Amino acid sequence: MTLKTYLSISALTFLLGLFICALLNNWIIFRFPARAQEQEQYHTPPATSKKKITLFFWKHDQWRKETTSLIWHQDHDKNIETLTKAWLSTLEDEGLITTPVRLQSVLLAPSKSHAYLSFDRNFLPQDCPTYEKWLRIEGLLKTIREHNIPLTHVYFLVDHQPMADYHLDFSNPWPLGGFLT
């Protein structure tokens, strides 16, 4: 073999290595039309819309409501999360919660009829009467119920364990219809 042959093989090998390096580092991207449509089909964002919602809470011995606009999703668990976070924020604004409470997660049971709401701390003040604690829970249940989320029961958790309270039992789920009716 001649020197010219070695140089051309070396140059081709170098260029092939450069091409493979660029391809692996995504400096070169091939996009084929059929595959692009397939990827777009799987990566379409879920449909959302802006919806006016009403938040219910008990204050000064009467039901109060506040209307606000939120992003509404097709997924019920995201809607429950959005509603609950807005409801907690309203309670903070109204001075009903002195220490900020955050919703950690929302999980729907496989049947989609039970929801598990886990908070970072108990949002019920320990020093208030049982009646007011009960009505605070009823306010959240009423908020969820009024927005036609197809649930039957809600579990209230703190750090993914049943919420502890001396007056109310959270070891069982609360019916979405509440106990007022």
If one compares 172 and 3, the residue with the highest pLDDT of the two is 172
3-state secondary structure 122-180: CCCCCCCCHHHHHHHHHHHHHHHHCCCCCCCEEEEEECCEECCCCCCCCCCCEECCCCC
Q: Does 181 score more than 60 pLDDT?
A: no
SS3 50: strand
Of 115, 104, 107, 102, which is closest to residue 149 (Cα–Cα)? Answer: 115
Distance in angstroms (rounded) separating the CA atoms of residues 56 and 138? 9
Of 107, 72, 112, 104, which is closest to residue 88 (Cα–Cα)? Answer: 104
pLDDT tens for each residue of 76-117: 999 999 999 999 999 999 999 989 999 999 999 999 999 999
Q: Are 58 and 138 in contact (CB under 8 A)?
A: yes
Q: Are 56 and 144 in contact (CB under 8 A)?
A: no
Residues of the chain with pLDDT > 70: what percent?
A: 92
pLDDT tens for each residue of 15-41: 999 888 888 888 887 777 765 555 555
- Residue type for position 120: D
DSSP conformational letter for 46: P
User: Cα 161 to the chain's mean position, in Å?
Assistant: 19
What is the per-residue pLDDT for 21? 85
What is the per-residue pLDDT for 23? 81
Mean pLDDT of the chain: 89
If one compares 40 and 11, the residue with the highest pLDDT of the two is 11
Q: Which two tokens stand for residue 122?
A: 């108990």
pTM over 0.85: no
Residues of the chain with pLDDT > 90: what percent?
A: 68
Radius of gyration of the chain (CA): 28
